[in-house]
Amino acid sequence: MPDQTKLAGGVKALQQEAKEKAVQNKAKELDIPYVNLLTMPLNPDLSKVIPKEVAEAAGVAVFFQSGKKLRVAAADLDEKAQALIEKLRKDGYWAEVSLASEESIRAAHKIYFSKQYQEKEKVETEFREEDLGSFAEEIAGIQELKTKIEAASSDAALKYIQVGAYKTHSSDIHFQPEEKMVLVRFRIDGVLKSVFEITRKTYDGLIKEIKYLSHLKLNITNIPQDGQYSFILNKRQINVRVSTLPTHYGEACVMRLLDSQRSAIPLEELGFEGESLKNIQGAVQLTHGMILVTGPTGSGKTTTLYTMLQSIDTQAKKVITLEDPIEYNLPGISQSQIDEDQEYDFASGLRAILRQDPNVIMVGEIRDLETAETAAQASLTGHLVLSTLHTNSALESIPRLINMGVKSFILAPSLDLIVAQRLVRKLCPDCMESKPISESEKSHIAEVLEKIRAKGIEAPVMPTELKSAKGCDKCSHTGYKGQVAIAEVLRFDQLLRNMILENKPMPEIYDYISKQCKMLTLKEDGVLKVVSGLTTLDEVERVAK
């Protein structure tokens, strides 16, 4: 049998479509514009133009304002509506009237005059970093705030959650609707942690507030939407990337938090060392060429790119970035935000950047053939180009670009360095403890160290003990605190370029890289970090399978 709920929803949608069509035809007869507010992003600030009682009595809603220019939707051009329009004009407004359905007007009033946009509650947004407790303490504090969040306005509730996420050093906030409630989770050091559950009523207000701030359509819930906004916390601007997704139980929402004033972290502290570090430092100082950083979402690609950029002498070189969005503010660098709604994408933006006479270009992501080819051509004409690519390993980047359509005679001379990376959790320095190495651990590490030495790379001796995760208040009893990168760093030589140029089979190219290029794999770099006491084999296995 068909799903009765979906069937009823479909019938309702068809009935509404018929009503909108009738209103549209009526607008044509009256020779005035028609508007459907059910499909428009609405700004609750417009509710201030006309008082609630007046707007509801006249059946009107303002849906656009620019200075004294207004666009007003009316369900009927009766005496009340016409009198209100006349009063607006006498008050100095240039008011244009559009016809809308009654459902349209009611939907606008519901958004404009709901409690969440009428009440504002002050939330403490400044605190001393040194006063912050452990993740566990902060999350416990947030859980105690649950009752307050449920009772607060949506604006205040969102601020409480944002503050809590910042205090726990979370990179993402997840809202996951379930059948009877909505689960709130924070991603801390790459791992999701449940914080608390909120009622669906509270979440309904929260998601509207988030969508409003992100300039998303408040009254559209059946398609994915992406947006962004920022808020000030501890006098720092925190940028938020928002993604909504329709699910069986309602709209799921993920918010990524980006501290725009975060200080640069040296490559060494990110986790790069030895030959890998030397190769990156050498490539960044090139006058031309292409550097790619690859890995899945959340693997630290952008942070690595920003760190590379900040090692460039911006006094002597002009550096321009093209980003979506601009995540961190970089002094001495021109940063440009793409806007696909205005047809300003990576491909068109890159062409525009090349007319600005840059020395170094950073393109947020290579997504298509046009961007890839333009970036490669730029690297061959005197520009150093840095970008990201979604592949699982450094080796996979070569066939990925070829399959994208980049010609081998362009790709071969343009590529200089590919970095593939993941983030593993670091052992908590306050509670990690040493334990004798087991036979299985010893066997696994010995095999990896032998492979490293076979590549001509110096490897440490086999340890007798390994650091392990214990857990304390400082790390919320997880045993881990912070993250570090494990990486593959592939530096191109002329023989490798010749193999690509001659369209050699990929297995042959892979074989050459593994034997001749002195490149550590993700797992090999991870094992070295285990031996040095930074992380554990379990962590390396978790992210580098």
What amino acid is encoded at 149 in this protein? I
108 token code pair? 């606008």
What pLDDT sits at residue 1? Answer: 46
> Any idea what the CATH number is for the domain that residue 155 is in?
3.30.450.90
CB 226 within 8 A of CB 293: no
Range of the structural domain that residue 393 is part of:
267-425+483-518
The pTM score is 0.72
What pLDDT sits at residue 398? Answer: 94
Give the separation between CA 34 and CA 25, rounded to whole angstroms: 9
79 token code pair? 């005496």
Compute the CA torsion angle 336, 338, 341, 345 (nearest 10 deg): 130
Same domain for 203 and 92: no
Tens-binned pLDDT, residue by residue, of the chain (545 aa): 455 555 555 667 778 888 889 999 998 988 899 988 887 777 777 777 888 888 888 899 988 887 778 889 999 888 888 999 888 888 888 888 999 999 889 888 887 876 554 445 556 556 555 555 555 565 666 666 677 777 777 888 888 888 888 888 889 999 999 999 999 999 988 889 888 899 998 999 899 889 988 888 887 889 999 988 888 887 778 889 999 999 999 999 999 998 866 666 889 999 999 999 999 999 999 999 999 999 998 899 989 999 999 889 888 999 999 988 787 778 889 999 888 778 888 889 999 999 999 999 999 999 999 999 999 999 999 999 999 999 999 999 999 999 999 999 999 999 999 999 999 999 999 999 999 999 999 999 999 999 999 998 999 999 999 999 998 888 878 899 999 999 999 999 999 999 999 999 999 999 999 888 889 999 999 999 999 999 999 999 999 87
Question: 480-491 and 415-427: which strand pairing?
Answer: antiparallel
Query: Cis omega (within 30 of 0) on the bond before 358?
Result: no
Tell me phi and psi for residue 207, to 5 degrees: -65, -35
Domain presence at residue 538: no
Same domain for 245 and 137: yes
Domain presence at residue 439: no
Same domain for 288 and 230: no
Same domain for 293 and 409: yes
The number of C-alpha atoms within 13 Å of 28 and in the hemisphere containing its C-beta is 6
Domain presence at residue 219: yes
Residues 6+ apart with CB under 8 A from 1: none
What pLDDT sits at residue 499? Answer: 95
Same domain for 405 and 281: yes
- Scanning 220-273, the segments in alpha helix (DSSP H) are 267-270
Same domain for 234 and 105: no
* Domain boundary residue, one of 199, 227, 259: 259
> Any idea what the CATH number is for the domain that residue 81 is in?
3.30.300.160
Same domain for 287 and 379: yes
What pLDDT sits at residue 135? Answer: 53
Same domain for 235 and 146: yes
What pLDDT sits at residue 237? Answer: 82
Give the separation between CA 406 and CA 376, rounded to whole angstroms: 9
How many other C-beta atoms are found inside a 10 Å radius of the C-beta of residue 352?
A: 13
Same domain for 75 and 34: yes
The DSSP bridge partners found for residue 491 are 417
Domain presence at residue 455: no
Domain presence at residue 536: no
Same domain for 250 and 314: no
Same domain for 225 and 148: yes
The tens digit of pLDDT for each residue in 366-385 reads: 999 999 999 999 999 999 99
* Domain boundary residue, one of 226, 259, 292: 259
Domain presence at residue 454: no
Domain presence at residue 528: no
* Domain boundary residue, one of 211, 234, 259: 259
Give the separation between CA 295 and CA 387, rounded to whole angstroms: 12
